[in-house]
Amino acid sequence: MANMKNRPQFAISERADNRVALSSADGARIELFVLADDIIRVLVLPHGELRGPRTWAIAPGQEDVPLEGRDRFDTSGFARTPFTLSGDAGRVVIETAQIRLTVALDGGFCSWQILRGGAWHHAMSDRKTQAYNFGWWDARVYHYVERKPGEMVVGLGERAGSLDRANQSYEMRNVDAMGYSARTTDPLYKHIPFYVTWQPETSTGFGLFYDTLADCRFDMGRELDNYHGHYRHFVAEHGDLDYYFIASPDTPLHAVRRFTWLTGRPAWMPKWGLGYSGSTMSYTDAPDAQTRMAEFIDRCREHDILCDSFHLSSGYTSIGGKRYVFNWNRDKFPDIDGFVASYLREGVRLCPNIKPCLLQDHPLFDAVASAGLLIAARDGEPAWVQFWDEVGAYLDFTNPRTIDWWKARVTDSLLKHGMTATWNDNNEFEIWSPDAIAHGFGQPFPAREAKVLQTQLMMRASRDAQREHAPDVRPFLVSRSGGVGMHRYVQTWSGDNYTSWDTLRFNLKMGLGLAMSGVSNSGHDIGGFAGPAPEPELLSRWVAFGIFLPRFSIHSWNDDGTVNEPWMYPEITQVIAGLIKLRYRLIPYLYELLWRSHQAYEPVLRPMFAEFPGDPLCLEDGDDMMLGSSMLVAPVVEAGHSERRVYLPMGARWASYWSGEVFDGGETITQPAPHDRPVMLIREGHVIPLNIAEQHFARPADERAFIALPCAGVGVARGECIEDDGESEAWRGGAQGRWNVVIESDAQSLRITIERHGAMPRLQDDVCVSVPASDMRHAICTTGNLIDDLVIDGWRHITLRLAT
C-alpha cells in the first residue's frame, strides 16, 4: 500500500449519474457523490472496498431506513443534481450551483468553496500533509483538515463546556456518565459525529457529517504539531471515511436543516409530551410504591400542579435490591391495571423505564440465552458486561428474533396494562471486548464496532411495538442514549446531571448543541438528578429555564434521599405551580415549533449567533437562547440575581412579554427577573400563539390567542399555529388545521387578518390579539369584526370575532 513518500496518484475511473470515482494504480479509491446543490459526499476507500457496515443514518426526507440498514451505494431519495466536471492533469473540479470541490490527483486532497453573493469563498481544505490514512499508520480512520483563525464550531450533539467547540477535543463513546460535570465531563451519552463550522469574516459556513458507528474522536484545534500547520481532525476506531459536506451560506441554520433532512424526518409526537412530566427514583424504589405514586396525584391536585405524564422509574421491576426489565414487583404494585387506570383518569400517562440488559439471574435469562437473543462471545457464551446492580448481557437488536422478543415483552408487560409510552434507559451498550459478536442481520461483526446501532434499534423496536399495539395513536418514546437518526423515534434528555448552578448554565449550552445537531425534542432533568438536593433558589430558577424546552421533567435521585418535586419547598410551591402554568400557556407555540421541526427540519432551540450571524455581539458565548425565531429567552443562571442583562440583536425591536415595553435592537438592557417571571422578549414582525384558557389539574382547557410585536412602520408581522387532536395519527389523512395570523402595519393602522384552514379540533370565533400598549394605531379586522380593544398591564388586547 502507499506510504507517506509515495502518495496515491488518482485518475477518474468512472462517472455515472451523480457519482464520480477516482482510482489509483495500487487500488485506492475515492468516491464522490453529488447529492444536491449544497451536499457532496466523499467516500475514501484505501483498499478500494468498504470495510464498515451499512448505514442506518441516511434517510433523506424519510421517516426511517430499512431495518437491516441502507446500502452505502444507495442514492435513492436524492434528486439528480446538475454539475460540471472539469480539471487538468493535476486536479478534478466538481461544481454545483453552490459548491466547488477541487480534488488534487496527487494524494486525493479536497478543497471546498461555497458560492455566496455571486463570489466563491474558500470554506475548507484537507491538510496538505497526511489528510487521510492510506495504510500509513494503523487500521483506524483519519481525516485532517486545515483550521482557519476565527472559525466557530458547534454541534457534536450534547457536549460539556462552551457552545463553541473550537480549540477543544471530544471523544464520542457512549457511557453512563451519572453525575457528570456539565462544564468538563467527556464523553457523555450520545454519538452524533456532525458539526457546523461558521466563518464570521465571510458569513459562510458548512456542516460536516461523518457517517460512522465507530467510537471516534474530534480534535478542533486543541492539538498542535509544528510539522503540519494549524489543523483539526477526526479519528474513528474502524470502518470507512465516509463524510458529507453541506454548504451553509448566510446562516449556520441551513446546514442544520439539511443535515436533519439528510438523516430523516423528526417524529411528530403527541401534544401531551410537551406537558410537565413527573418522575423520581424514590417512588418506585419504596416498598409501598403504588401508594407513593397515588400520593403524587394527590399532591398535584392539592397544589394545582398541571401534569400530563409520569416517568415510571425502574424500581417497579425490582426483585430484592436489583432491577429486572419487564418484571413487575407485585408487592410494590398489587394492582397494576388499577394503578395505571387511576393515572389515566386524571389525564396522566405513564412512561415506564425499560433497559436492554438482562442480569445473569434474571428470571428469563436462561431462556433468552438459549434462544440466541443475547450478544455473545466467540465461544457462544453470553458476552458479560458490568451493568447496574449486577453482571449481565445485552440483548442483540441486530437479530430480528430479538426484536420480535422485545416487542412482545413491551406489549405484554406494559402496553396491555394501559401504558402509552416507553422510557428507553441505560442503553449506552458499553461493550468493550473484541470477542463480543453481534448477529448483524446474518453478517456477524464485533459488537463494540457498532454499539450505538444497538441503541437505535432498541428504540425503534420499542416504537414499533407501540405502533403495532395502537396503530391509530402517535408513539411517544424517550431515550437517554442515541445517535444520528434518533430524532426519528424519540424525545431525549441530557442524562443524569449533577445538581449545581454550573449544570444549569452549561445544560443550556448542551441543549443548543443538540438542536444544532438535528435533535430538537430534548430537555434536562430539572433540579439536577444526582448530588445534593437543590436549594429553593436553584430549583425555581431551573424550572424557570426548563419550561421553555420541549422536554420538561423534574427528576432526581438525590444523595440525601430527598425528592425534587414542585412542592419540595413550601415557600416556592406556588411560584413553581405558576411557572408550570406559564409552560402550558406556551404549549401552542412549542407544538408549532415541533411541527416545523417535523415538517421543515427547523431547530426548535437556537444559539443567538445562529439566528443572528451578522451581529458581532451575538457571536459571544452567552447564556441566552432563541426559542424558535420569535422569542428570546434569558434565564437567570447565577445565584443571588434579581435582574438580567440582555443584549438585543440588531435589526429588530423587542417587546417584554411581561410589561409590553418595547426596546430597540443593538442595545443591552437590564430586565427585572423575579422567580415567577423569566425574561422573555418577543421579536418584531412575529406573532406567537398562546393558550389563554384557565388551567387546573386534570381539567385541561384550550383557548387560542396571539401575542405580537407589529412592525414599527410599514411592514408585516406573521405567525402560525398547528391544530389537531394532539394524539392520533389522523393528521396523516389530513385531519389537521392551522391558524394564520398576519398584521400589516403602516403609520396609521394595523390591519389584522386571521384565517383558519383545514380541520380545526374545536370551535372558536372570538380571538384576542395582544400588541404592546404603546402601539395605539387604528386596528382593522379584515376577516371579521373588532369587538373589544382595551389596555391591561402594558398590553393592548384586541378581540376579534371571526366571520364563520
Q: What is the 3-class SS of 332-393, one letter each residue?
A: CCCCHHHHHHHHHHCCCEEEEEECCEEECCCCCHHHHHHCCCECEECCCCECCEEECCEEEE
Instruction: Tell me the C-alpha distance between 255 and 199, whole Å.
Output: 13
Give SS3 for 52: coil
For the chain, report the end-to-end CA distance as a whole number of angstroms: 76
Instruction: Tell me the C-alpha distance between 160 and 182, whole Å.
Output: 5
Question: Does residue 359 contact residue 365 with C-beta atoms inside 8 Å?
Answer: yes
Task: Note the pLDDT of residue 65.
Answer: 98
Angle between helices 289-303 and 573-600 (to 10 degrees): 100
**Displacement of CA 375 from its chain's centroid (Å):** 29
Low-confidence ranges of the chain (pLDDT < 70): 1-5
Residue whose cell numbers read 382593522: 780
C-alpha cell at 685: 414582525
Peptide bond preceding 187 in cis form (omega within 30 of 0): yes
Instruction: Tell me the C-alpha distance between 798 and 782, whole Å.
Output: 13
Q: Which CATH class is domain 614-802?
A: mainly beta
Task: Note the pLDDT of residue 672.
Answer: 98
Task: Note the pLDDT of residue 97.
Answer: 98
The β-bridge relationship of strands 668-672 and 643-647 is antiparallel
Instruction: Tell me the C-alpha distance between 615 and 670, whole Å.
Output: 20
Q: How many residues does the chain have?
A: 804
The ranges of the chain annotated as CATH 2.60.40.1760 are 10-156+192-262
Q: Which CATH number fits domain 276-353+402-429+454-600: 2.60.40.420, 3.40.980.10, 3.20.20.80, 3.10.20.600?
A: 3.20.20.80
CA atoms within 13 A on the CB side of 196: 34
Predicted TM-score (pTM) of this structure: 0.97
Task: Note the pLDDT of residue 388.
Answer: 87
User: How many helices (H) does the chain have, and how many strands (E)?
Assistant: 11, 52
The ranges of the chain annotated as CATH 3.20.20.80 are 276-353+402-429+454-600
Question: Residue 320 class from Cβ within 10 Å (0-12 exposed, 13-18 middle, 19+ buried)?
Answer: exposed
Task: Note the pLDDT of residue 3.
Answer: 53
C-alpha cell at 373: 437473543
Q: What pairs with residue 751 in β-bridges?
A: 744, 780
The ranges of the chain annotated as CATH 2.60.40.1180 are 614-802
Report how far apart, in Å, the C-alpha atoms of 491 and of each of 311, 461, 484, 499, 520 are.
13, 15, 13, 22, 8
Q: Which CATH number fits domain 10-156+192-262: 2.30.30.700, 2.60.40.1760, 3.30.460.20, 3.40.33.10?
A: 2.60.40.1760
Give SS3 for 145: strand
Q: Which of 232, 114, 212 is nearest to 165 (CA)?
A: 232
The alpha-carbon radius of gyration of the chain (Å, integer) is 27
Map 684-704 to HEC letters.
Answer: CCEEEEEECCCCECCECCCCE
Task: Note the pLDDT of residue 733.
Answer: 96
Amino acid type, 230:
H
Q: Which of 409, 292, 286, 421 is nearest to 352 (CA)?
A: 421
Q: Which of 260, 257, 254 is nearest to 98 (CA)?
A: 254
Instruction: Tell me the C-alpha distance between 666 and 218, whole Å.
Output: 35
The b/e string for 194-230 (b: 16+ C-beta within 10 A; e otherwise) is: bbbbbbbebbbbbbbbbbbbbbbbbbbbeeeeeebee
Give SS3 for 786: strand
